[in-house]
Amino acid sequence: MKLPQDPDLFLEYIYGPNVAGSAARPLILLEWIKALPNDAGPNFWRVVADVWSSCDLIPHIHFSVQLQRFRKDAPEIDLPAERVVFRGQDARQRLGLSWSLSREVAERFAKGHRGILNPEPAVFSMKIRREDVALSLSDRNEDEIVLFTMPHIRKNPTIEMIPYNCETAFAG
């Protein structure tokens, strides 16, 4: 099926009955983005900001390319010049684009979410600069920060795995 190019029609489609949920959504969003002309930055940012938090199993490498493609039209980010952010995930996976201003949120994601469990839960912290941030999202009370590029542990000395007690982090 050809995806609607109009942002409003696309949003209706991606949240409609034809899309099989949060794991399918990022692939459909990526397909729509790849068809956008390079001057469609405002539409790109509007749709990505709307859809991002409803996605799971995001192909971060592919989204990083598209975030950078439309970087010149990125929205202003209201954050300090530097900030520490946190990410919860499986320890064996590459670090992704989505981080949180909240360590507690990262601890919840370390264990897993929406039925996706991490066999080796881990929480990472990292210092970022405001210009590293593509989006700041608060629609799900996750204080989410989406970076333009995926951080690499070997290239960024501020990244560290921080200890937390998986059992007490999820009690209650």
Give the pLDDT score at 20: 74
- Alpha-carbon distance of 97 to 112, in angstroms, equals 16
Mean pLDDT of 124-146: 93
Instruction: Pull the structure tokens for residue 52.
Output: 């991002």
Domain ranges of the chain: 7-73, 82-169
Binning pLDDT at 50, 70 and 90, where does residue 140 land? Answer: confident
pLDDT of residue 128 exceeding 50? yes
pLDDT of residue 135 exceeding 70? yes
pLDDT of residue 13 exceeding 80? yes
- Alpha-carbon distance of 48 to 170, in angstroms, equals 30
Give the bridge partners for 147, in sequence order.
133
Q: Which helix (H) or strand (E) holds 35?
A: none
Q: Tell me what the pLDDT averaged over the chain comes to.
A: 90
- Alpha-carbon distance of 116 to 12, in angstroms, equals 26
Give the pLDDT score at 92: 86
**Which amino acid does the sequence have at 126?**
M
Binning pLDDT at 50, 70 and 90, where does residue 171 land? Answer: very low
User: Residue for token digits 């490498």?
Assistant: 61
Helices 7-14 and 41-51 meet at what angle, rounded to 10? 20
Instruction: Report pLDDT digits (tens) over 37-59.
Output: 999 999 999 999 999 999 988 99
Mean pLDDT of 125-151: 93
Instruction: Report pLDDT digits (tens) over 74-116.
Output: 999 999 999 999 999 988 889 999 999 999 999 988 887 666 7
Give the pLDDT score at 166: 61
Cβ partners under 8 Å of residue 124, min gap 6: 86, 87, 88, 89, 95, 106, 159, 160, 161, 162
Instruction: Pull the structure tokens for residue 57.
Output: 């199993």
Q: Which helix (H) or strand (E) holds 104?
A: helix 103-111
Binning pLDDT at 50, 70 and 90, where does residue 172 land? Answer: very low
- Alpha-carbon distance of 133 to 143, in angstroms, equals 13
What one-character DSSP code corresponds to residue 163?
-
Counting beta carbons within 10 angstroms of the beta carbon of residue 106, is it exposed (0 to 12), middle (13 to 18) or buried (19 or more)?
Answer: buried
**More confident: 125 or 140:** 125
pLDDT of residue 124 exceeding 80? yes
